[in-house]
Amino acid sequence: MKEPRDHEGNQASGRDTVQNTQEHDQRSHKGWRGGDHRMQSGSRRKVPAPNHGIEGNWRERESVKMMGPETEDDKHEDLRRNRGDVKEKRPPLQNSGPRRGGGSERRAANCTKPLKSKESQTGCLIEQLTEEKYECMVCCDTIRLVAPVWSCQSCFHVFHLNCIKKWARSPTSQADDGKEGWRCPACQHVTLKVPNAYTCFCGKVCNPEFQRTEIPHSCGDMCGKKRNGGDCSHPCNILCHPGPCPQCPAFITKSCVCGRMSKQVRCSQPGPLLCEDVCGALLNCSQHKCAQVCHASPCPPCKLLVQQACFCGVVFRDVACGTDSEHFDGSGYFSCSKTCGKILDCQSHHCQQFCHPGQCQPCPLSPKLVHSCSCGQTPLSKLLELGYPERKTCTDPIPSCGKTCNKPLPCGDYDSVHLCEKLCHEDICGPCSLTSSIKCRCGSNSKKVPCAVIETEGDMVFICEKRCSKKRSCGRHKCGEMCCVDMEHKCAMICGYKLNCGLHRCQELCHRGNCQPCWQTSFDELACYCGETVLFPPIPCGTRPPECKNVCTRGHECDHPVFHSCHNEEKCPPCTYLMKKWCMGNHEERSNIPCHLQDISCGLVCDKLLDCGSHHCKRICHRGDCQEDGVCKQPCIFPKPGCSHPCAAPCHPGMPCPPSVCSAKVAVQCDCGRKKETVPCAEASNSYQRYAAIAVASKLSDIQLGESVDIGPLTKKEQKKARLECDQECATLERNRRLAEALQIDQSLDPFNKSTSSKYTDSLKEDARKDLKFVREIEEEMKRLVESANKGKQAKRSHCFPPMKREQRRLIHELAEVYGVESTSYDNEPKRNVVITAVRGKSVCPNVGLAAVIERETVSRAPPPIAHFKQHSKHSSAREQRVFVVLLRIKNFHLSRNTSAPAFSHIRYPFRDQPASASICYMERKLHLVWLALKCRKWLELDRTGMLSEST
């Protein structure tokens, strides 16, 4: 073996010196920690980490080489040093430091001062503890020089003793997974015992005294602790110190792995010592040797291919040398799982066992091994006494005892086993002639099968078609397996749910609870759109770009100033700059309209002339054409030829109006004007035609008699309107009018309650007759409401009726119009109700209510009062006599023509038996008779001319 040259060692030492100088210069530049800079706990990075920890908490740095960039020369140098190519110079021993107190001998001769370099964790701890700049991670307070402390032996962080006691007893510090002990606040290292004493860093002195010339919280003696890592047996030889012990500087003689070379190296040198010779160790096959250069890892298995035979020598295989070498029995290495087939020692039978190592067992039919008959119930000695021949070889038959075999067969039920029914025999038992009841694998079904098909115990179980309906372990899917016997029901499907990033899906087996966070990580910088704000790697998957407060720099459609910040969305927010814009129909210019609004409606009617030339657009201000399909659908405005109403058919420019029935509503009334109705125009026209036909027919009859007829009234426009027929109420009103005129009564005083009765329509009366009790309740409530509004302090009073049917609500609305009360419906069916509001000065109660009017019309009239005779003048008696004569003539006229006059047959004429001085009540009846006479004057004229008929 070649010895390394001295100048190579000098060159190596010089290279280390130059490297240390360069790295020392690098530490002086920006980026290296020093002075009051802080180091993050557990930091092992090659570049300085940002300060995220508590002030004064430092971790030990690696060696100088680890802190700086590693070059190829350094790698080759380490390799040569491990292989023995470089011979390092042994540095001189460290000088012993000054004694404590001037004459104390507490320090050993080989003890040195701890390193105070700011590049090591120990140096930083010493400096910050001395300057009282180190903070406790529990209370975040500065650790004083005389305060009791405790130091973690894993991360070497220093804490107040009282703080760490409180932390160790808190539930937060307990170890996970139910383990005993508590966790360090910094490194989470589990410690079993809770600290209860204040000791120095090396643990030899309790309650150490503070000396200004010594390290705070140290005893001032040699540390003496065992160094961490490696097999170093030398204790730490520096003074009691915080932080980890430095590497051992001692030199030891160390051999390489193969044992061919040895040299002196530092005790703390990591890794085994290697040489450049071939290893030469036996491989796993114990036949070949390792051909690699001296290495630290175990030798690889032998890769040479050899042919191996099974134990029975029938099957061969090609495998690596040394495979199953421990199973070699002299003939084979493995079992082929086939029948052995070797000839036994009897030379008559073959081995029936599976391929096995070693020799085959003796023949099972040998006379030495067989001591009973084939069924095993009778010993051969007893059969020999009965005269059976003795067996001398294995080929001799075994005597039969003649009994039933009774060996158990593989068939049978769970509570019983079938036995062989043959006589004692040598061959295999069976088949059985019975049937067996077998159960399925899950035990829910059973069936009977012939025993002949059952050969093994596996045939006693079958698989049914019942699917398992239990939930799997995930709680989402059902098992669904046929004849399931699984107890855990583990789900074998992939979860597939989207992860929190929203981009990837969970690839784990289906599970309960939330999925794990996405493990995908990007090592590229993530910046905003403008690039001013940057997130540095590593960046978890799904992280959104950072928010940037700068103004957006994207291109915009308008030239208005930009007010929104930089964003990551592709589309910018709409521009909100206020400006003036015209509406879609160019009707008016609107102010204060945001820039992004394009279609603005002014809310007015479009009113543009359509293509038909007759209509204007009725849509609210809109965009685009007024007619979407190009066809005007508004109703035609030209009048119909038969009436003056519009055509109302869909617009048909250039074409005559189509013939159709006019559906316009027209107002018709009776001759007296009391009855008024709204009917379709077509019905009104038909009624007028009937009326005109009757009138024309009567005029034609007069023309035939030679009389002149005036047909002018039939051609007047105002006479072409349809008329309603007057009813009994109209006749009553006319009678009252004539009576008031005859008696000279002022009609404005409403003596006959005409205004009251006329307020209630026929339909309202008809509806009120159906539920008179309901009408009374409504009127009472309305009267009370109107009185309270007129007499109370408030000008308006409201009342809410309970929900009711539609017919009842309509009745309330019509009654509210009579009382002058506002009525409104609210809510939806079936809870729709009516709210009425009475207003002072507008709402008035009628003189007679609707219920009273209906009762008066329903009840029969009382008989007329008895007349009281008074003396009248001669003129009144003469007038009454003339009226009586006219009535007698009319009656005699009807009697002479043998016609009945029902209108006069019931009239009583009291003038014959009573004096002329009758009461005023009889005067009314007389006037009524006069009116009847006047109405019948036409009959007299027709009778005179000979045109009176029964129909007339």
Per DSSP, the residues of 856-901 read HHHSPPPPPPPP------HHHHHHHHHHHHHHHHHHHHHHHTT---
798-818 tens-digit pLDDT: 999 999 999 999 999 999 988
Residue 593 pLDDT = 92
Q: Determine the Cα–Cα distance for residues 674 and 731; give it in Å rounded to an integer.
A: 10
Query: Which among 568, 550, 569, 552 is positioned nearest to 560, based on CA atoms?
Result: 552
Higher pLDDT, 266 or 643: 266
Residue 367 pLDDT = 86
Residue 117 pLDDT = 45
Averaged over 87-99, what is the pLDDT?
35
- The CA–CA distances, whole Å, from 643 to 638, 677, 684, 685, 720 equal 11, 19, 11, 9, 11
Tokens describing residue 137? 């991670």
Q: Determine the Cα–Cα distance for residues 35 and 12; give it in Å rounded to an integer.
A: 31
Q: Determine the Cα–Cα distance for residues 919 and 275; give it in Å rounded to an integer.
A: 162
For 283, the enclosing helix (H) or strand (E) is none
Residue 143 pLDDT = 93
Q: Determine the Cα–Cα distance for residues 952 and 942; give it in Å rounded to an integer.
A: 9
863-912 tens-digit pLDDT: 555 544 444 444 444 545 554 555 555 545 444 444 433 333 343 444 33
Assign 437 to helix, strand or coil: strand
Higher pLDDT, 916 or 419: 419
Residue 835 pLDDT = 93
Query: Which among 135, 123, 162, 130 is positioned nearest to 145, based on CA atoms?
Result: 130
Residue 226 pLDDT = 87
Confidence of residue 665 (pLDDT cuts 50, 70, 90): confident
Give CATH 3.30.1370.50 domain extents, the chain.
771-855
Residue 711 pLDDT = 60
Tokens describing residue 343? 């000839």
Residue 344 pLDDT = 87
Residue 257 pLDDT = 84
Averaged over 60-83, what is the pLDDT?
39
Q: In sequence order, what DSSP letters do the residues of 504-517 get, joined into one string?
A: SB--SBP-SSPPPP
188-229 tens-digit pLDDT: 899 989 999 999 999 999 999 988 889 999 998 999 888 876
pTM of the predicted protein model: 0.35
351-380 tens-digit pLDDT: 988 899 988 888 888 888 888 888 888 888
Evaluate if residue 314 carries a pLDDT over 60: yes
Phi-psi category of residue 793: left, alpha or beta, with phi > 0 → left and psi -120 to 50 → alpha: alpha
Mean pLDDT lowest for which of 18-27, 69-78, 681-690, 729-738? 18-27
Residue 11 pLDDT = 35
Averaged over 114-121, what is the pLDDT?
56
777-804 tens-digit pLDDT: 999 999 999 999 988 888 899 999 999 9
Averaged over 524-551, what is the pLDDT?
90
Evaluate if residue 63 carries a pLDDT over 50: no
Residue 666 pLDDT = 80
Tokens describing residue 622? 């809109």
Confidence of residue 952 (pLDDT cuts 50, 70, 90): very low
Beta strands at 665-670 and 723-724: parallel, antiparallel or unpaired: parallel
Sign of CA dihedral 292, 296, 300, 302: positive
Query: Which among 222, 211, 214 is positioned nearest to 94, based on CA atoms?
Result: 222
Residue 686 pLDDT = 67
- pLDDT above 70 as % of the chain: 72
Evaluate if residue 93 carries a pLDDT over 70: no
**Contact (CB, 8 A) for 111 and 97:** yes
Q: Determine the Cα–Cα distance for residues 409 and 430; give it in Å rounded to an integer.
A: 7
Evaluate if residue 629 carries a pLDDT over 50: yes
Residue type present at position 565: S
Confidence of residue 410 (pLDDT cuts 50, 70, 90): confident
Average pLDDT of the chain, as a whole number: 76
771-855 CATH choice from 3.30.1370.50, 1.10.8.640, 3.30.70.2660, 3.40.50.2300 = 3.30.1370.50
Residue 383 pLDDT = 85
Residue 592 pLDDT = 92
Residue 930 pLDDT = 54
Evaluate if residue 98 carries a pLDDT over 80: no
